């Protein structure tokens, strides 16, 4: 199993390709300029050094902090771009009526083609998948496909807070320490067997 690791939480950024035994290739930079200027080139270089392509990787691991907001965001934004090789988007269909948002389908990992074929009404697409697969969606849905402006393609804290306020007003509060992340599909990396001592 081969994994790409990305660390961009601090001024020192790094990427590495590892297997269960060795570090196959690694690259470290200690540059005060933005990680965004170095990360993709570093990934390309270590894949070349390890004689691998993205398709030959079994997964990607990225640091989630603590650390620099911008550095973490850059690292986390690269993962969906690398995941595009799977040809899936994370999607759910919503309807807005009377200022309320109603979810019409459960969140899922789905090919953009299949998602577009399941939609029969004019729909606004947003998010990274809408950007990456815009042409695919337009080809299938034509005039029924509309796209959110760029500033609405990514969730932000204000939107999260507004959804939270609405939930509180409806009495739908959750205990802070009982909140669990929502995983749409199983992780790519799997643990095989028991650890050996």
pLDDT digit string (tens) for the chain, length 197 residues:
777 877 776 667 778 888 777 788 888 777 655 656 677 888 889 889 989 888 888 777 766 544 444 444 444 445 554 454 467 888 888 888 887 778 888 888 889 999 999 988 899 998 878 888 899 999 999 999 999 887 777 655 555 566 665 776 788 766 656 656 566 666 554 444 444 44
Per DSSP, the three-state class of 108 is strand
Q: Where are the alpha helices (DSSP H) in the chain?
A: 39-49, 69-83, 112-118, 128-132, 134-141, 157-169
| Cα–Cα distance measured from residue 185 to residue 192, given in angstroms and rounded to the nearest whole number | 18
Sign of CA dihedral 149, 85, 109, 123: positive
In b/e form, how buried is each residue of 44-57, taking b as 16+ CB within 10 angstroms? eebbeebebeeeeb
Residues 54 and 85: beta-carbon distance below 8 Å: yes
Paired tokens of 69: 């907001």
State the pLDDT at residue 74: 43
State the pLDDT at residue 194: 47
Residues 128 and 80: beta-carbon distance below 8 Å: yes
Residues 128 and 79: beta-carbon distance below 8 Å: no
CATH architecture observed for domain 3-86: 2-Layer Sandwich (3.30)
State pTM to two decimals. 0.52
In the chain, domain spans: 3-86, 89-175
Cβ neighbourhood burial of 179 (10 Å; 0-12, 13-18, 19+): exposed
Residues 56 and 67: beta-carbon distance below 8 Å: no
Residues 43 and 4: beta-carbon distance below 8 Å: yes
Q: Where are the alpha helices (DSSP H) in 66-195?
A: 69-83, 112-118, 128-132, 134-141, 157-169
């Amino acid at each position: 199993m081969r994994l790409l690791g990305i660390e961009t939480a601090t001024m020192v950024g790094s990427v590495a390709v590892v297997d269960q035994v060795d570090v196959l290739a690694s690259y470290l930079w200690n540059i005060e300029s933005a990680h965004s200027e170095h990360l993709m080139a570093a990934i390309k270089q270590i894949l070349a050094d390890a004689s691998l392509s993205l398709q030959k990787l079994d997964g990607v691991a990225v640091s989630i902090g603590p650390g620099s907001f911008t550095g973490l965001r850059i690292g986390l934004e690269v993962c969906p771009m690398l995941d595009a090789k799977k040809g899936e988007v994370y999607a759910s269909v919503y309807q807005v009526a009377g200022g309320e948002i109603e979810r019409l389908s459960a969140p899922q990992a789905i090919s953009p083609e299949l998602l577009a074929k399941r939609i029969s009404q004019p729909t606004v697409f947003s998010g990274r998948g809408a950007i990456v697969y815009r042409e695919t969606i337009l080809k299938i849905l034509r005039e029924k496909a509309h796209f959110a402006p760029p500033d609405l393609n990514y969730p932000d804290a204000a939107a999260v807070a507004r959804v939270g306020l609405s939930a509180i007003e409806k009495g739908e509060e959750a205990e802070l320490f009982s909140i669990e992340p929502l995983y749409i599909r199983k992780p790519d990396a799997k643990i095989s067997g028991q650890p050996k001592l």
